[in-house]
């Protein structure tokens, strides 16, 4: 890990551990996906092991998070058993001033959005460089599409003005999400009307999810050289 990476990790960890302070015993907690959210899972596991927190169960937003939580002894549940989540802690790829997000850099966008929509409180944790003047400035919008007809979806997304890249796995084959879908990363550049774009994507058959998370964030915890800030929407 380079010095810069270790500094970024320290900020991610600081934001994550601050968010874990919001968890109370007895809660159903949404467990996000990505490197920042992983710090939150680790901190939660420590607090449960030492008895500081009790009777907390987690709803994982990906198989990766499920495996991490299981390995650390964090009790898990499902939305079938607990259809309402008290508090979710998750990361983001880009955060706009109105707390709208781009998520899905790790491919977990569909389950993350389902859990976010089921949550009373959605706490987003980021390091400072994730902050952006407008969505799309720093990160493409991941769009999860059914493998059936994905090339037609690519043409549709290009017609909306995106430069489309099929996300590949490490072996060079197309990446597949936990649901077996394909991810098309769509570079729209800075997005003027995220709500209108989200509506267009939501209305397209075969688009299973997109990374525009609008009106879902309740809290934002940011860590950077100036310390940790917590904003409530
Ligand atoms: O699909 C992945 C999620 O949306 C992550 O929360 C997001 O990509 C941020 O990940 P990281 O905390 O590793 O930057």
10-60: pLDDT as tens digits = 999 999 999 999 999 999 999 999 999 999 999 999 999 999 999 999 999
What's the pLDDT band for 166 if we cut at 50, 70, 90?
very high
| Residue-averaged pLDDT of the chain | 97
* Cβ atoms of 156 and 183 closer than 8 Å: no
DSSP reduced 3-state for 102: strand
Is ligand 1 within 6 A of the CB of residue 108?
yes
Q: Among 92, 122, 132, which is best to mutate for testing ligand 1, by the most ligand atoms less than 8 A from CB?
A: 92
Q: Over 70: is that where the pLDDT of 1 sits?
A: no
Handedness of CA 180, 181, 187, 188 (dihedral sign): negative
Mean pLDDT, rounded, for 168-180: 96
The closest alpha carbon to 31, from 116, 103, 94, belongs to: 116
Residue among 17, 112, 122, 144 flagged as catalytic? 112
Residues 48-92 pLDDT 10s: 999 999 999 999 999 999 999 999 999 999 999 999 999 999 999
Other beta carbons within 10 Å of 45 = 19
Compute the distance between CA of residue 26 and CA of residue 182 in angstroms, rounded to an integer: 37
Compute the distance between CA of residue 28 and CA of residue 82 in angstroms, rounded to an integer: 7
Q: Nearest residue CA, atom 5 of ligand 1?
A: 34
Percent of the chain with pLDDT over 90: 96
Q: Of ligand 1's atoms, which has the minimum distance to the CA of residue 142? A: 1
Q: Nearest residue CA, atom 7 of ligand 1?
A: 92
Compute the distance between CA of residue 148 and CA of residue 18 in angstroms, rounded to an integer: 42
Structure confidence at residue 214 (pLDDT): 98
Q: Among 106, 107, 212, which is best to mutate for testing ligand 1, by the most ligand atoms less than 8 A from CB?
A: 106
Structure confidence at residue 3 (pLDDT): 58
* Cβ atoms of 209 and 113 closer than 8 Å: yes
Whether 112 is catalytic is: yes
DSSP codes joined into one string, 140-153: -EEEEE-STTHHHH
Is ligand 1 within 6 A of the CB of residue 124?
no
Is ligand 1 within 6 A of the CB of residue 33?
yes
DSSP category for residue 175 = P
**143 Cβ partners below 8 Å, 6+ apart?**
153, 157, 183, 184, 185, 186, 201, 207, 209, 210, 211
Q: Which domains does the chain have, with CATH numbers?
A: 3-132+214-232 (3.40.50.1360), 141-209 (3.30.70.260)
Compute the distance between CA of residue 167 and CA of residue 111 in angstroms, rounded to an integer: 18
Q: Token pair for residue 116? A: 């976010």
* Cβ atoms of 213 and 113 closer than 8 Å: yes
Is ligand 1 within 6 A of the CB of residue 34?
yes
Q: Over 80: is that where the pLDDT of 5 sits?
A: no
* Cβ atoms of 108 and 62 closer than 8 Å: yes
Residue 107 Cα to ligand 1 middle (Å): 8
Compute the distance between CA of residue 179 and CA of residue 32 in angstroms, rounded to an integer: 16
Q: Over 90: is that where the pLDDT of 134 sits?
A: yes
């Amino acid at each position: 890990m380079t010095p810069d990476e270790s500094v970024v990790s320290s900020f991610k960890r600081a934001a994550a551990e601050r968010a874990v302070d919001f968890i109370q015993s007895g809660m159903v907690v949404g467990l996000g996906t990505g490197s920042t959210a992983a710090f939150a899972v680790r901190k939660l596991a420590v607090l449960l092991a030492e008895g500081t927190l009790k009777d907390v169960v987690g709803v994982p937003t990906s198989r990766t998070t499920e495996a991490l939580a299981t390995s650390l002894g964090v009790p898990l549940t499902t939305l079938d058993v607990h259809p309402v989540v008290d508090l979710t802690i998750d990361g983001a790829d880009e955060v706009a001033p109105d707390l709208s997000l781009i998520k899905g850099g790790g491919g977990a966008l569909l389950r993350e959005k389902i859990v976010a929509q089921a949550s009373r409180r959605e706490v987003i944790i980021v390091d400072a460089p994730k902050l952006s003047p407008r969505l799309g400035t720093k990160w493409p919008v991941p769009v999860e599409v059914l493998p059936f007809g994905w090339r037609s979806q690519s043409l549709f997304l290009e017609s909306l003005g995106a430069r489309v890249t099929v996300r590949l796995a490490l072996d060079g084959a197309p990446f597949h999400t936990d649901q077996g879908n394909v991810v098309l990363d769509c570079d729209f550049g800075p997005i003027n009307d995220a709500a209108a774009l989200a509506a267009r994507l939501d209305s397209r058959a075969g688009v299973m999810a997109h990374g525009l998370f609008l009106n879902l964030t309740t809290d934002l915890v940011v860590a950077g050289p100036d310390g940790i800030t917590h904003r409530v929407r």
